[in-house]
Amino acid sequence: MSEITTQRTVPAPSPQREERPQPAAYPSAAQTAAALTAHLPQREERESDSGRPRQADILRAIGDTGYRFVRSDQTIYAVQIGGGPIARPIRSKGGGGGTGSLRQCLIREYVVSTGRTPSQAALADAIAALEAMAMDSESQDVHLRVAGDQVDRWTTWLDLGRSDGLSVCIERGSWAVLVPQHGEGPLWRRSRLVHELPVPERSSAGWQHGVELLRQILPVSAGSYPMVVAWCLAALRPDMPRPLAGILGEQGTGKSTLCRMMVRLVDGTKAHLRSVPKSEDDLAVTTAAGWCLALDNLSGMPGWLSDFLSRTVTGDALTKRELYSDDDVVILIYQRPVLLTSIEIGVLQGDLAERMLPIQLEPITGKNRRTERRLWEAYNHSHPEILGGLLDLAALVWAKLPEASDKLTERPRMADWAEMLWALDEVTGWNTLDTYTGAQEDLVDDVIEGDPVATSVLRWATSRLSPWTWEGQAAQLLAELQVPPNTDKEKDWPRTPAVLSARLQRAAPALRRRGVDVRKLPRTKSGRPLRISTVPGTTNG
């Protein structure tokens, strides 16, 4: 049998460098790279070529001349000199908006300038050298999507997620679209959850035009619509505790559609809803990587998720061991706008109930139901005008915010949110503050009705004429209370005085708003007694 051999001839590289149709993205770095590589022959560089710069040195020079370095939370970022205010990570693959990482930018510039691909060893050496040289770089905050101004605390910035760093500066009474210059605006970091927003468009009709377009598209009632606008405004302010928007309704009421529209309005057209992961650590990582956290189709509220969401809207941090390290940690800091959808969210804990903005949806009749295609076509077409109207309204609300602290006499637990609602009502003539406080009262009843301990204490205490006070040990109280009907005594009722005391501590804020004050007294030799008292004038109705 004869043996057949196939030989293939590979053409030699051209002695002339391949001309690139597009100019280099980083001119100063490209000139440096071209000057350092002009002497190289048309073959791979070898270390034996004495007196010639190595690939690693060329790559490091590109980084030195094309970028400045900043430190934020012990992480080093590279910012292009003369480019947009985008902080690129050193090693990772980079985020949205086509920003990439410093590693990717070095590879791209080297290939564009030389027509060659740098070796992985040279890249590793160059990155390690740049990272070491940047250890003493200036410290500067790096922000995700929304940031406060360095000078005026009432001014905020919105990142449009574009590769050129175009941003919106929202001042008191006005807003502008611009690229922040070095030292005049925030630095943005990007992740894969940061999507591009359209450039907002102004309307001669003012904020009413854009907001009215949003009202026509949203599948929400006239009463709930102002609260949707209020939540979107709060999402434009950084470092602000804002309530969790709970979008509730039966099947087919447009819960997921409304949630998508709200989050995409401020977080990009490709922002998506998420399901609840299996662990708190996984949810914390994805929460820190994006601006809005939108959870879809919850069938209940487990305790760990309730606690996590309560901390997320007011600010939290996750500390965990760094990968491939035995003695270092990674810290993820986040305070995010949160939305969720559910048919029946179940029993709410008091902490989460005080941080929730319920938005109840009504059934959609067949006559009023629209197709997904037409609905999203209208939304995407109007998105720039809607965003412009929201920014017009935000600028007017920002101008009123400094007055809120003096004009607002009573504040709920979310005090910053209440001040913003007051300012919004002053501008629009709406009643969002009253609507929110009324919804909070309804949630208090839901919290008490969902907790058999709170229900039993409320009935037991209000059955006496006020004022009335009881003092005693938790064991005595456990013997006094009656288990409410339809309560699983083995599962839902405390078996020990210690568990009863803990349950009362959690239910105390809701009970206090219904006229029953529960407090722990100083510890004595016989233990730590409880005091339960009623406000004068409350009786069992």
- List residues bridging with 332 in a β-sheet: 318
Q: What is the pLDDT of residue 79?
A: 93
pLDDT tens across 102-130, in order? 999 999 999 998 889 999 999 999 999 99
Residues in the chain: 541
Q: What is the pLDDT of residue 65?
A: 92
Q: What is the pLDDT of residue 209?
A: 95
Amino acid at 528: R
In contact, 507 and 454? CB cutoff 8 Å: yes
Spans of the chain below 50 pLDDT: 1-24, 41-48, 537-541
* DSSP letter assigned to residue 218: S
pLDDT tens across 141-193, in order? 999 999 999 899 999 999 999 988 999 999 999 999 999 888 789 999 988 88
pTM of the model: 0.82
Q: What is the mean pLDDT of the chain?
A: 84
Rg (CA), the chain: 30
- Beta strand residue intervals within 81-141, DSSP E: 86-89, 138-139
Residue 172 has, within 13 A of its CA and on its CB side, a CA count of 10
CB atoms within 10 A of CB 300: 11
* DSSP letter assigned to residue 134: G
- What's phi and psi for 62, nearest 5 deg? -60, -45
CB atoms within 10 A of CB 407: 11
Q: What is the pLDDT of residue 22?
A: 45
- What's phi and psi for 30, nearest 5 deg? -65, -40
Provide the token pair at 350: 């008091």
Q: What is the pLDDT of residue 51?
A: 57
Q: What is the pLDDT of residue 272?
A: 83
Residue with tokens 């006229």: 515
| N-to-C CA span, the chain | 105
Q: What is the pLDDT of residue 10?
A: 37
Amino acid at 214: L
Q: What is the pLDDT of residue 412?
A: 76
